[in-house]
Structure 1
Amino acid sequence: MMSTTSSLLFLIIFIVHNLLLKQSYAQKNNTISAVFVFGDSTVDTGNNNYIPTISRGNFPPYGRDFPNHEATGRFSNGRLVPDFVAEFVGVKKNLPPYLDPSLTIEDLMTGVNFASAGAGFDPLTSQLGMALTQSQQLDLFKEYKAKLEVAIGKERTDDLVRRAGYLVSSGTNDFTFNYNGPIPTRRKAYPTISEYEQFQWQLIEQFLQDLMDEGAKKIGVVGLPPIGCLPAIITTNSKTPISNRECIASLNTLSRNVNQMLENNLKGIQRPGTKLVYADIYTPIIDMVEQKTKYGFEESHRGCCGTGLIEADFGCNPKTPLCDDVTKYVFWDGFHPSEKGYRIIFNSLKSLILENLA
């Protein structure tokens, strides 16, 4: 009798144990495996440190509020949206740049960043900014996959890539430094802004198609910020006195038009089994600018670094004066939000991440 009871108890324990194992595996298999990022300086966590370019943020005061006050190459006083995303989905605290030679296989397996400051969807933009083009960033992703296949095998690599979350954030430089910049190459080829917008969409579509061909299933595509509210853009485009700074309405209209096109067109290239979603950063940024006191800000038209009117990259350096309290500033320099600003942008995207990428 004792033997029969013991056998039955063992059988029950065995069945329950296997059910729990299957449940645990299913939960693990449905969670996000890694985070991968492509784009420009708003999401570059340090790749430009390793390429020949002047667009770098790997010196003080950049990184002033990053752990150990380290200037990692992030264009802010601290962490960026990709870092918050990686932490939020539970893969790692901060997302490293792929070109960092010290990365281990374990680092690679939970995601890396391929973005490059100065980049745009338009390859000419990246050339002007001495940055990695979107095509070159994708080539690095292919190289990444090959490395991982050698280390953990093709089957595990394919599974990791399939379950990963992807963030693509680019395009601002195409309009600020390229089409509306001092070199009129693109304006000659595309006389109207709508023509250039269509050209840019063709480049975006091709990049996303290529990324999906590489196995990406969960992709968030970030829209443009209110370009007309970036401090340096206000400075270079405003006809009003410095004491009366306002966003450039026409450039904000441009951002909204491009974002609407992007949101509409993404639906048309959706593939079965793939989540391709538009991520709105225009709304949280314009809200911070127009309702700064709601977030505890005091300054929304200047950056913290230097005069706050135009400085970025090498213009924000160890000899540049800083504001007394960066948490009172929406922007860190003339183009990039402060860490607090990036945190607020990330918070606005949480529900999108939970529903589509995590």
Structure 2
Amino acid sequence: MAGCVKKLKHAMFLVGEFGANDYSNALFQGEHLEEVDYYVTVIPGPGTVNLVVSGILPLGCLPSYLTMFHHDVPMSYDSKKCLRSFNTFVMLHNDHLQQALAELSRIPSCSNSLCQLLQGFEKSSLTKACCGTGGIYNFDATKGVAVCSDLIKYVHWDGNHLTKEAYIHMVEGFISGNF
């Protein structure tokens, strides 16, 4: 047990992405953004020293959201061509998550810098999926779609999930302390 506790003191625990699939399922089935509500409680285990609780990534930048909720109104999009309303909702969720975590005094520190994940990738690839059949966001959820040849440039694999490169960037940020 003593050896295990020693290892836990140097380990990083990643708990997360709470809510994204819950929100996506509700929103893709026609529920309005205002109707979707969610809350999270985290209870770290004994010996936990380094705990990273991941909020939700910017849903408004996901190719699936950009395809499903496309608008012809320019003000619906931010400077990165992402849907403002969904990213505002994500910030609200992540802020509430941080407030809940702050109340748990056992957690040594938390980081709310998931938007930093998008930095380091080409702006033109931030809203496009690597796998797809074309279109503005290259999103297609069917089997057998083409895979891009330069996937290290992409944040999104299939429009809903991140690429290996995005996860590497995220982990490097956590380990280096940049996130």
- When normalised by structure 2's length, the TM-score is 0.75
Alpha-carbon contact 1:300-1:329 (below 8 Å) kept: yes
Higher relative contact order (CA 8 A, sep 6+): 2
Corresponding position of 1:156: 3
From the two aligned structures, give the one with the greater helix fraction.
1
Q: For 1:215 and 1:231, how far apart are their aligned partners in 2?
A: 39
The alpha-carbon deviation at position 283 of structure 1 amounts to: 2.9
Query: Could you give the per-residue CA deviations for residues 126-181 of structure 1, whole angstroms, max 9, x where no partner exists?
Result: xxxxxxxxxxxxxxxxxxxxxxxxxxxx4433443454321111221121124x24
Alignment of 1:185-200 (within 5 A): 192-193=35-36, 196-197=37-38, 200=39
Q: What residue in structure 1 maps to residue 24 of structure 2?
A: 176
One-letter amino acid of the structure 2 residue matched with residue 157 of structure 1: C
Q: 1:237 to 1:264 in 2, by over 3 A?
A: same
Q: Pairwise mapping of residues 31-42 of structure 1 onto structure 2 (< 5 A)?
A: none
Q: Percent identity?
A: 22
Once residues 158 and 139 of structure 2 are traced to their aligned partners in structure 1, the CA distance between those partners, rounded to angstroms, is: 8
Aligned to 2:51: 219
Structure 1 residues 158 and 230: CA distance shift in structure 2, 3 A: same
Q: Does 1:280 align with 2:105?
A: no
Alpha-carbon shift at residue 353 of structure 1 (Å): 7.9
In 1, Cα distance between equivalents of 2:155 and 2:14: 23
**Distance (whole Å) between structure 2 residues aligned to residue 288 and residue 230 of structure 1:** 17
Residue 35 of structure 1 aligns with which residue? Answer: none
Are the aligned partners of 1:234 and 1:247 in contact in 2 as well (CA < 8 Å)? yes
Match of 1:302 among 115, 125, 128: 128
Structure 1 segments of 4 or more deviating over 6 A?
A: none
Please give the alpha-carbon distance, in whole angstroms, between the structure 2 residues aligned to 1:267 and 1:162: 20
* Residue 336 of structure 1, CA deviation: 1.9
**Structure 2 residue corresponding to 1:336, chosen from 146, 161, 176:** 161
Task: Give me the TM-score of the superposition, normalised by structure 1.
Answer: 0.41
Q: Give the AA of the match of 2:161.
A: H
What is the deviation of 1:300?
A: 2.5
Query: Pairwise mapping of residues 1-358 of structure 1 onto structure 2 (< 5 A)?
Result: 154-171=1-18, 172-178=20-26, 180-182=27-29, 192-193=35-36, 196-197=37-38, 200=39, 204-205=40-41, 208-209=42-43, 211-212=44-45, 214-240=46-72, 246-271=81-106, 274-285=107-118, 287=119, 292=122, 298-307=124-133, 308-311=138-141, 315=142, 317=143, 319-352=144-177
Contact 1:288–1:330, Cα closer than 8 Å, also in 2: no
- Count how many residue pairs are aligned between Structure 1 and Structure 2: 167
Output the CA distance in 1 between the equivalents of 2:149 and 2:8. 44
Q: 1:227 and 1:251, CA in 2 relative to 1: closer, same or farther beyond 3 A?
A: same
CA contact (8 A) 2:131 2:140 kept: no
CA separation of 1:347 and 1:258: change in aligned 2, threshold 3 A: same
Change (3 A) 1:262 1:251: same
In structure 1, how many angstroms separate the alpha carbons of the residues matched to 2:164 and 2:21?
21
Residues 183 and 250 (structure 1 numbering): CA distance in 2 closer, same or farther, change over 3 Å? closer
Write the distance in 1 (CA, Å) between the matches of 2:113 and 2:54.
6
Q: Is the 8 A contact 2:16 2:55 kept in 1?
A: yes
Unaligned 5+ segments in structure 2 are: none
The alpha-carbon deviation at position 247 of structure 1 amounts to: 1.7
Q: 1:183 to 1:156 in 2, by over 3 A?
A: farther
State the alpha-carbon separation in 2 of the partners of residues 330 and 170 from structure 1: 16
**Greater C-alpha radius of gyration:** 1
Mapped partners of 2:12, 2:170: distance in 1: 18
Code of the residue aligned with 1:176 in structure 2: it is S
